[in-house]
Structure 1
Amino acid sequence: MSIKIGLAGNPNCGKTTMFNALTGSNQYVGNWPGVTVEKKSGKVKWSKEIEIVDLPGVYSLSPYTMEEVVTRNFILDDHPDAIINIIDASNIERNLYLTTQVLELGVPTVIALNMMDVIRKNGTTINKNKLSEILGCPVVETSALKGEGIKELIEEAKHCALSRKKQNFKLPMENAENTLKHIESIVDREIQHSDVNPRYIAVKLFERDENISEKFRVPESVKNEIETLIKCCEDENEDDSESIITGDRYEFISASVSKFLKKPKNKNITTSDKIDKIITNKILALPIFALIMFGVYFLSMKVVGGPVTDWVNDSFFGDFVEGNLRGWLEAMSVAPWMVGLLVDGIIHGVGSVLGFVPQIMCLFLLMGILEDCGYMARIAFIMDRIFRKFGLSGKSFIPMLISSGCGVPGIMATRTMENDRDRKMTIMLTTFIPCQAKLPMIGIIAGAVLGGSTFVATGAYFFAIFMVVFCGIILKKTKLFAGEPAPFVMELPQYHMPGAKNVLLHMWDRALAFIKKAGTIIFASCIVIWFLQSFDFSLTMVDEDKSILAAIGNVIAPIFAPLGFGNWQSSVTTITGIVAKENLVSTFGVLLGMDAEVGDPSLSAKVVSMFTTNGALAFVVFNMLCAPCFAAIGAIRREMGSAKWTWIAIGFQTITAYLAALVVNQVVGAALGTESVMGAVLSILILIAVITAAVMSGKRVTDREVQRAEA
């Protein structure tokens, strides 16, 4: 018999760690039907008949974000046999808010008191039997990180699922109880609610939840009857219905906590608090963050990733694969064009990208450690203090952190932002952050032309953050994005040792996605690029300077000439990067006929011949900030929900990239003596003119609206 169990909990409660501990490698990842929220499910390692569905991390079951809607719809529509509600025991008051809502649904539920190892270390005690009595459901103590209590938890959930005993939890609402009883009786009498707890429907109707009204087809006459009851309750309490319910929930939680939770009388400052006094210090926080990110890039690109990448490119692809394949093909008297396609096109192109897999894996191993130990949550908190001063929401930084892996999930992560203006602005800015596909390009240019990939990679990361803040300030001055940013609420989890399994799975998932893209999009792109740079329009094999690609490149090259990279090779490389940013490296590999590897003398000579120092910097800046890859553009289209807004985003990103690269090339060039001072001054004046025009256009629209209102 198959048993389906949903895994629900707040963000940072250890839910992902628990899911990984339960399912191991028996996981299936996709998207929920109709939405782009990630769906994870898997079979329990030691009990294949039990399927675990990892629901998105949410703070409530109110329909404010797509994650909350997905979680609620799964419980209501997919009818899981049981729910395991993961609670962070070190922050139990906040976590119980979601628990009360889950229990109201009536589905058999088991509470997992997670992170109990942290609780015991702090000297806090939780009476799980008393908590079980208050909530009316089983409670199991667990530590997902250490594997404690996991089998007991599954056995309890299995027992609840097979017994099919419905939860009969009814949270006492002191300020709304009488009204809820009336609404509950109306639900029983007038609404078909099948096996859903009528109390839950009553609470949601009291909160004026339109999704629930539509789902259960509440007649208009019933809505009007319920609305009359709600208004009477609101007048009596002098508050809106949602706030009344929220207040009653927290009153119940506060009254209950004292019955099962005992904290030590002489509570010492925890280790996490001691670390946070330094890590989140107003003065030290940013320098520490910069130092840590420098260390991450230094280890990834120099100490660990660099030597392994050298071996992959030189020994594996260069000597073994390319050398043997070329010799074998020539011995078989294969046509020269086929040898060129396989060796110079596919091997050089795809191999140049795959050579960076060790660096990518090292980078995400380190980023996974920072995330798993709790440091990344602190960075969001630190950046909120900075972002808010410039009118940006601290919630914007979370998608940007995710974008350091890939822009697509970063864009998708913006749906947790309630304010539509902040969400759209974050979508437009989040792909400025260098993703895993841009890092090889930064490494090649930095190593060949600028003499140090670590400093440039770290500098690029912080330059991207600067551009986010700078552009955010400008956008906030326009009509489209004016207004106060939404408040930022986030829990800071306790610091703990990262779990090896979680970190390795995080690293492997990201690296596998990178490899898959190299095996599909990059593979096809390399073939097209090789063909275009090997043949002319009469389909005769020619030198690359006379090829179709050179002809196309020479047409578009003047566009990039003011940016310092006006040759046809760098121009077509920039264009192919829009398909997939990995193409930036693979195109170099095909065009220059080399294994794209930092430190290769042939690479340095060929790339140096294409760029001046200021042109190389401008190339990095433009390709870091311009329109993202096709996959990210598709994500922007889905999240914006409008072709118009998609084109606004792409146009803004590309114009911003062009202006930033123009200023970098002209100003740095003037400082180095390769460009004129007049050019630097003119580029700055152009930038000021564009910014002024954007701000003034927004002001004119606002003034017209004021005049119409006055009239």
Structure 2
Amino acid sequence: MSSDEHTRELLVALAGNPNSGKTTFFNQLTGARQHVGNWPGVTVERKEGICERFGVRFRIVDLPGIYSLSAYSQEEIIARDFLISGGVDVVINVVDAGNLERNLYLTMQLLELGQPVVIALNMIDEAEKRGRHIDFQKMSHLLDVPVVPTQARIGTGLDEVLSKAIEIAADRNRKQPRATRYHPTIESEINALEKALHFPQHCPLPPRWLIVKSLEGDEDALNRLTIWSADGQAARSKIETARKHLEAHLGESLDAVIAHNRYGFIEGLLHEVVTLKAPREIATLTEHIDQLVLHPWLGIPIFLALVLLTFELTFGVGGILSHALERQISALATYLTNVLPAGPVRSLLVDGILSGVGGVLVFLPNICIMFAAISFLESSGYMARAAFLMDRLMHAMGLHGKSFIPMLMGFGCNVPAIMATRTLESFQDRLLTVLVLPLMSCSARLPIYILFAGIFFPKHGALVVFSLYLLGILLAVLSGKLLRKTLFSDTMSAFVMELPPYRLPTLKGTLLDVWDRAWIFLSKAGTVILAASVIIWALGSLPWGVAFGSEHSIAGKIGKLLAPIVAPLGLDWRAAVALLFGVAAKEIVVSTLRILYSTQYATAGASGVEDTISHSFTPLTAYTFMVVSLIYVPCIATIAVVKRETGSWKWTAFVTSYTLCLAYVIGLLIYTVGRLLGLG
């Protein structure tokens, strides 16, 4: 056991509803001592961290946010499989104290599972502000499990939760928690089945839980029941007979009756432990803010203003830090140029690695600031309002209202955004959202925008980048409308958006979010971009003896083959090579441009590769290039996850082909119209 006295380690599962503060709870406990990966066999994110308190090492696993332990969604299956694996010492159930009725539904299922549970009544301060006083000691007595009030945002109560976890894990004679008692007819049938199915004395899971879940129609639980019951497959027919008998007797579906009984138990519990103070006549802060940000006319302008402010910060503050970092990298390049003899080694380090990797790393401050702003808006509860605002627009454009949530995630990275489409119940809605998500401007494209906007639009860089993000959204919704009308049915499932109360994000939580993103960026810079930079340098250097990055190099010959294709867009062969290599990772577009342009138009006193790029592009061709970079073929990682999520090479080929064609058409349109208007 992981709770052995010699190792003093506990494996803790952190379970709770979405928006219960579970992730904040996890971050407060583990800080930077956490590892982010995927659950085996699936692409759902797995977070695990370490914390040490009271001489015990806690290994904490942050389970996906779920509403129940039914085996319907991927997240529910993962959470339940982990809980019943047999290795968990304690479950910490993080409950939103302000939404007890909904949150306690999962709690009741955890108690039925028979696991050692500690309930963390999180955001207890917000519940008090709403006039809800919770007698947590009485709740603990009624449920026979520890209940601790917490404020995870500021760390209040977390140590007490861990202390209770140690106690309950060590107590081998602990009382079984009080679980739901169902309709007398159902209870009678459960008792009869427990005797009739002949479970072993030490069954891996509580027989009562297996029977209840099987009666609810849970196929996974029924399969486990047939394995562990001495009756084998005959147990399946006994369950089915009991189910039909109960439904005939009760007059409605059995899973609905069981759910109603659980909610009835919760209602009775809340009646005992919750005291409602006199309702205040003054509206809550959340209600005041929502009157403004959810206003029918003001809501969307406020959303757009916040997005624009994000880009202003990204360019303004981020630009200052980025230029400072760029000066350091340039100084290092100058130093290496002076101390190393001319030759392949110096060329590789200066023209290849520093131009490629360094040229991307200079945008790290911009990316960190953008993600800090997004994390702040997300943690505060505003992003849920943004999705609510866009619901009507999404429906008008043929997309499901819930599609806006993955689209917002797409601003960070298209890969997890595509995974997030699993929250859409309809396969058609899910597939349609997957097909349009690559049009969302991910953070990997941001270095391209910052490079060109900084060179050609220095006074209006934020507005230019803002226009590209808006263009991506516009093309996504228009594509969704067209695809909905042509390839998919015109019906959409209903959408109910949860609006959590506003909360002030913690500095620690925001910094951890930024660090996660920054580490992904740095990891890619140290692996994919480094490898690509070396390859591009080699292609620009070979065959030996040609001028580096010239049209006589291998890279130049590849570019010359592509040049006739991009010429109608006003682009040269170097831009074509950059776009080609950008399919591996969009950041490589900047690396390729910096490497290939590093020796072109070099003049005395030139300030860097920006000067050389400014000789090959105009503001019109620069904007065209940014638009093409926004729309054309997704990166390899995105293509791979599209295949995994759709399960079809046909749809993967479709999304690759239509984005490439759309990029060319829109780029050609912008360049042609721009020239007609005299902007070329």
Measured in 2, the distance between the counterparts of 1:383 and 1:193 equals 53
Instruction: Map 1:21-420 to 2 at 5 A.
Output: 21-46=28-53, 47-164=55-172, 165=174, 167-174=176-183, 177-178=186-187, 181=190, 184-185=193-194, 188-189=197-198, 194-217=203-226, 219-267=232-280, 268-302=282-316, 304-313=317-326, 315-319=327-331, 321-330=332-341, 335-420=342-427
After superposition, the CA RMSD in angstroms is 2.4
Measured in 2, the distance between the counterparts of 1:373 and 1:352 equals 34
Asked if 2 retains the 8 angstrom alpha-carbon contact of 1:6 and 1:82, the reply is yes
SS of match in other structure, 1:438: helix
SS of match in other structure, 1:13: coil
| Ranges in structure 2 where 5+ consecutive residues have no aligned partner | 1-7, 601-605
SS of match in other structure, 1:431: helix
Distance 1:53 1:601, change over 3 A: same
Instruction: Map 1:538-553 to 2 at 5 A.
Output: 540-541=546-547, 544-553=550-559
Residue number in structure 2 paired with 1:705: none
Match of 2:673 among 667, 681, 689: 667
**1:113 deviation in Å?**
0.2
**1:238 deviation in Å?**
4.4
Asked if 1 retains the 8 angstrom alpha-carbon contact of 2:398 and 2:477, the reply is no
Moved more, 584-593 or 400-409: 400-409
Measured in 1, the distance between the counterparts of 2:66 and 2:413 equals 22
Q: Give, as a single letter, the amino acid of the residue that structure 1 aligns with 2:25.
A: M
Match of 2:564 among 558, 563, 576: 558
Measured in 2, the distance between the counterparts of 1:275 and 1:414 equals 29
Residue number in structure 2 paired with 1:590: 595
**1:187 deviation in Å?**
7.1
Q: Give, as a single letter, the amino acid of the residue that structure 1 aligns with 2:122.
A: N
**1:602 deviation in Å?**
5.2
**1:541 deviation in Å?**
5.0
Measured in 2, the distance between the counterparts of 1:104 and 1:271 equals 37
**1:664 deviation in Å?**
2.8
Distance 1:312 1:644, change over 3 A: same
SS of match in other structure, 1:358: helix
Say whether 1:617 aligns with 2:617. Answer: no
Instruction: Map 1:625-640 to 2 at 5 A.
Output: 625-640=631-646
Residue number in structure 2 paired with 1:704: none
Distance 1:41 1:167, change over 3 A: farther
SS of match in other structure, 2:340: helix
| Ranges in structure 1 where 5+ consecutive residues have no aligned partner | 675-711
Measured in 2, the distance between the counterparts of 1:285 and 1:79 equals 48
**1:94 deviation in Å?**
1.1
Distance 1:61 1:589, change over 3 A: same
Measured in 1, the distance between the counterparts of 2:177 and 2:667 equals 63
Distance 1:199 1:306, change over 3 A: same
Q: Give, as a single letter, the amino acid of the residue that structure 2 aligns with 1:139.
A: V
Distance 1:184 1:346, change over 3 A: same
The C-alpha deviation readout for 1:377-406, integer Å capped at 9, x for no partner, is 211222223212333222212222222122
SS of match in other structure, 2:121: strand
**1:223 deviation in Å?**
2.3
Residue number in structure 2 paired with 1:10: 17
**1:120 deviation in Å?**
2.4
TM-score (norm 2): 0.92
**1:326 deviation in Å?**
1.0
SS of match in other structure, 1:477: helix
Q: Give, as a single letter, the amino acid of the residue that structure 2 aligns with 1:558.
A: P
**1:183 deviation in Å?**
6.9
Q: Give, as a single letter, the amino acid of the residue that structure 2 aligns with 1:246.
A: A
**1:411 deviation in Å?**
1.8
Asked if 2 retains the 8 angstrom alpha-carbon contact of 1:192 and 1:216, the reply is no
SS of match in other structure, 2:94: strand
Measured in 2, the distance between the counterparts of 1:217 and 1:632 equals 41
SS of match in other structure, 1:111: strand
Moved more, 43-52 or 509-518: 43-52
Asked if 2 retains the 8 angstrom alpha-carbon contact of 1:29 and 1:40, the reply is yes
SS of match in other structure, 2:84: helix
Instruction: Map 1:464-479 to 2 at 5 A.
Output: 464-479=472-487
The C-alpha deviation readout for 1:230-260, integer Å capped at 9, x for no partner, is 2333344443333333333223223332221
**1:477 deviation in Å?**
1.3
Say whether 1:515 aligns with 2:519. Answer: no
Residue number in structure 1 paired with 2:575: 570
Moved more, 513-522 or 255-264: 255-264
TM-score (norm 1): 0.88
Asked if 2 retains the 8 angstrom alpha-carbon contact of 1:179 and 1:230, the reply is no
Q: Give, as a single letter, the amino acid of the residue that structure 2 aligns with 1:75.
A: L
Distance 1:329 1:419, change over 3 A: same
Q: Give, as a single letter, the amino acid of the residue that structure 1 aligns with 2:401.
A: G
Measured in 2, the distance between the counterparts of 1:347 and 1:10 equals 46
Identity, % of aligned positions: 38
Measured in 1, the distance between the counterparts of 2:301 and 2:189 equals 53
Match of 2:497 among 482, 490, 493: 490
The C-alpha deviation readout for 1:646-695, integer Å capped at 9, x for no partner, is 22332233233333323333334433465xxxxxxxxxxxxxxxxxxxxx
SS of match in other structure, 1:344: helix
Q: Give, as a single letter, the amino acid of the residue that structure 2 aligns with 1:151.
A: D
Measured in 1, the distance between the counterparts of 2:52 and 2:599 equals 46
Distance 1:118 1:543, change over 3 A: closer
Asked if 2 retains the 8 angstrom alpha-carbon contact of 1:532 and 1:549, the reply is yes
Residue-pair matches, total = 660
Measured in 1, the distance between the counterparts of 2:541 and 2:245 equals 79
**1:593 deviation in Å?**
1.0
Measured in 1, the distance between the counterparts of 2:184 and 2:303 equals 46
The C-alpha deviation readout for 1:437-468, integer Å capped at 9, x for no partner, is 11110112222234422001111122211112
Distance 1:193 1:246, change over 3 A: farther
Between Structure 1 and Structure 2, which shows a larger proportion of helix residues? Answer: 1
Measured in 2, the distance between the counterparts of 1:526 and 1:190 equals 62
**1:129 deviation in Å?**
2.2
